[in-house]
Amino acid sequence: MDNRPSRHCLVRIRSSRCEPPGQRRLPKRRIGGARVRIGLLTEGGYPYVGGEAVLWCDRLVRGLAQHEFDVYALSHSEHQEAEGWVPLPPQVGRVRTASLWDHEDDGVAYGRRARRRFAECYGELAAALCTGAPGDPAGAAEDGSTLQADRFAYALYGLADLARDEGGLTTALRSETAVRALERACRTPGAHRAAREARVPDLLTVAARLEHALRPLSLDWYEDDGLGAVDLCHAASGGPAALPGLLAQHFCDVPLLVTEYGVRLRTHYLTEPDSPPAIRSLLAAFHGRLAAETYRHASVITPGNAHARRWQERCGAERAKLRTVHPGMDAAPFAEAGEAPEYADPQTLVWVGRIEPAKDLVSLLHAFAEIRRAEPGARLRIVGAPSGPEGAAYLAHCKGLAAQLFPDEADGPHAVGRNPVSFEEIGGPELPSRADAYTAGAVVVLSSVVEGFPSGLVEAMFCGRATVSTDVGAVVEAIGGTGLVVPPRNPRALAEACVALLRDPERRERLGAAARARALELFTVEQNVTAFHGIYLEILLRTPVRRVLLDDTGEPLPFAAPAEAHVPGRWSDPARVAARSGPGWATDTPARTTDARATPARTATADTMRAGTGNAGTVSADTATAGASTAGASTAGGAKVRGGTERGGTELRATERAATARVTAPVSVTEGAAR
């Protein structure tokens, strides 16, 4: 094995005293730059052009150039595959794709034993979907619900094992055995009301949809050179994209991070309104249970906003695992606008967005009529393009309403009049960019009745505008206290808020500055990338080394899996790998101090090898534990000690990193006072 100090990427090694002080230099290495190999799991997303969340994934991958990404992508359609990939940065080591749209039959017919295994697993799956209250895994504390969740997990991993051992799962999932198991489960006395009414076509459709959803089970990604080789899986969305992550954890003990900007289960409910109730019920149960299972096994779940967070909690996610990471938006186009002094017309209101009925422009026009009564000089600029034919019709309707409500006005008897409400689009000579649109007015208004994460509002915040918005979606969460919020569908309240801001330039300025500061703090790409960087390292800190290397005599090799083991590619002699049931340091009794040389074997297993969040000699308290106490540490060789409290903060556990142990100076750990 290679013990050259040059391989130590993480530890400062003090230079010896024989050098003159002026020449003494610390080796300049990237401290805290543990290189993590991340398996990015996407569904209909990242490497494909025009997929979902491509921009976010691209920014994440480009922002974390010190790590390595393996992209595992599931594609939605042939069209998507034909469109090709976005340009990939060099840190993307490999891309493996699988299609969810074409079904290829691997022609494996099961023998009797495999058939029985399949029937048993699928029967359990069907029973878990049909019985109990589907879509209500929140009551996980109840015995029945836990039982169903366990049944679902048993069936899921049973099918995955079967697919790995025998193959041919695709055929089996569409076979008569599967349909029969579904029918039996639906006719069971305890079945859900909607499921009891399932007819044969419904059963067939459900079987086909389940086969479709379970297709990741048949993939060959869960080998040691596939997802087994990554340090952590990052699922870019819930649902099918998280399924490979679950299986990677099942087969290879890879920790899983799930990011959901829109909750998959909710999307399922909203996109399936027309199917028969039996199909909707069974599929909703499947998605609900899959979500619960994903949340149960994920190390960390990062919802994009409080709304997604509420859904995740509702679906059974533990609060301790949830970290809200707001979506990052590029602040650069708005920097100039945000820093420039206000030069806009102080009587102008601006609305920016895509024009569709959910934006409730009618309410905005009514509110503007009230505003005009209070402030006769006010103007309203509606900036945006209609989305789709529905949006176009809505735009025409709004234009007609505006013409009815507000007659054209002229400055004098010889001037050409104009309407106080103008409909414009970005890209014209007056408003070349979005930043110009926001800065064109004194107040930015948002009048939606339905909204997810209000990106337009955040852009307005970047521009340092005072905003008045309706209380929908994640608006309150985004705006905080830096803008005015009124109830939706309440033109009078909207008008009052706008008038208040129009009449008070100082307040406008104050709110705008606060909004810009808030947006720069919370909604930039950098914070998003940094948050994920921290979460990656946090997960790795809590994840033990997954394998123990053995030497020729079968003894565990100390330090055989150092930090460099995460450098991709093999650099040291191959050694035998033995699976280990759990983290050594977790099962060992906590020791007050540990001498690295005294217990080399244990140190090797205890070595988490992802040294890296802080500088040498610092202490990182495990956030999963109570975190109430910290341990001070002074180490001779730049050792790092991770202190954490267990069970009330009485025991201090010090875990050395192997890099520390390799430093020949004796390691001594002084115990910090547990506060």
Partner 1 sequence: MSGLGELDRPETPRSPGAWDERSRKSLTDRAPGPGDAAAPSSGDGGAARGGAQPPSTVRRAAADPVKALMHRHRDLCERAVDPLEIAAGLEAHGVTDRTAARFRHRDVFSLAEEMYARIPRDGDAPPRPTEPSAPRAARAAWIVLAPLPGVLCAAAVAGLRLTEGRPRLIAAAVGALAVALALRAVLRRGPLRAAARTSGTWTCWLVGYALLGDGLLHTALTGGPDALPDGTAGGPWPVAAAPVVALALSCVPAAVGAHLFTTRARRRLTSSRGLADFSASVRPLLLGVFALYTGALAVLLALTGAVLGEPAAYPQALTLGALLLLARLLTVHGHAHAATLVLTAAAAAEATALATVFAGRLPGCGFLAAPVEALVAVCGPAGVPTAACGVGALTLLAHATRRLTRASAHAHAHGQARVTASRPR
Interface with partner 1 (CB under 8 A): 105, 107, 109, 133-136, 138, 174-176, 178-180, 183, 187, 192-194, 197, 199-201, 203-205, 207-208, 265-266, 269-270, 273, 276-277, 280-281, 284, 288, 307, 310, 314, 449-450, 471-473, 487-489
* Least distance CB 642 / partner 1 (angstroms): 38
Nearer to partner 1, 470 or 524 (CB): 470
Nearer to partner 1, 192 or 566 (CB): 192
* Least distance CB 177 / partner 1 (angstroms): 8
* Least distance CB 272 / partner 1 (angstroms): 9
Q: How far apart are CA 216 and CA 163, in angstroms?
A: 10
* Least distance CB 283 / partner 1 (angstroms): 9
Nearer to partner 1, 269 or 406 (CB): 269
Nearer to partner 1, 317 or 641 (CB): 317
Q: How far is CA 351 from CA 158, 355, 445, in A?
A: 54, 10, 5
The token pair that represents 227 in the structure block: 């997802």
Neighbours of 625 (CB within 10 A): 16
Nearer to partner 1, 473 or 562 (CB): 473
Nearer to partner 1, 74 or 472 (CB): 472
Q: How far apart are CA 609 and CA 606, in angstroms?
A: 9
Nearer to partner 1, 472 or 565 (CB): 472
* Torsion angle of C-alpha atoms 555, 559, 560, 566, degrees rounded to 10: 150
Element holding 511 (H helix, E strand):
helix 505-522
Nearer to partner 1, 104 or 225 (CB): 104
Helix, strand and coil percent figures for the chain, each rounded to 5: 45, 15, 45
Q: How far apart are CA 72 and CA 42, in angstroms?
A: 6
Element holding 158 (H helix, E strand):
helix 143-166
Helix (H, G, I), strand (E, B) or coil at 520: helix
196 near 186, Cβ under 8 Å?
yes
* Least distance CB 121 / partner 1 (angstroms): 17
* Least distance CB 158 / partner 1 (angstroms): 21
* Least distance CB 126 / partner 1 (angstroms): 13
Nearer to partner 1, 204 or 335 (CB): 204
Nearer to partner 1, 274 or 552 (CB): 274
Strands 576-579 and 68-75 turn out to be unpaired
* Least distance CB 200 / partner 1 (angstroms): 5
| Residues 6 or more apart whose Cβ sits within 8 Å of residue 137 | 145, 149, 288, 289, 291, 292, 315, 316
Neighbours of 672 (CB within 10 A): 17
Exposed/middle/buried for residue 190 (C-beta within 10 Å: 0-12, 13-18, 19+): exposed
Phi, psi of 347 (to 5 degrees): -105, 10
* Least distance CB 521 / partner 1 (angstroms): 24
Q: Which long-range contacts (CB under 8 A, 24 or more apart) does 392-398 make?
A: 394/355, 394/356, 394/357, 394/361, 395/355, 395/423, 397/362, 398/355, 398/361, 398/362, 398/365, 398/423
* Least distance CB 590 / partner 1 (angstroms): 41
- ∠ at Cα 593 (592, 595), nearest 5°? 155
Nearer to partner 1, 44 or 488 (CB): 488
In 403-556, DSSP assigns E strands to: 421-424, 441-446, 466-470, 484-486, 547-550
* Least distance CB 214 / partner 1 (angstroms): 16
The token pair that represents 443 in the structure block: 């107040």
Q: How far apart are CA 644 and CA 653, in angstroms?
A: 6
| Residues 6 or more apart whose Cβ sits within 8 Å of residue 653 | 585, 590, 591, 642, 643, 644, 646
Nearer to partner 1, 291 or 661 (CB): 291
* Least distance CB 473 / partner 1 (angstroms): 8
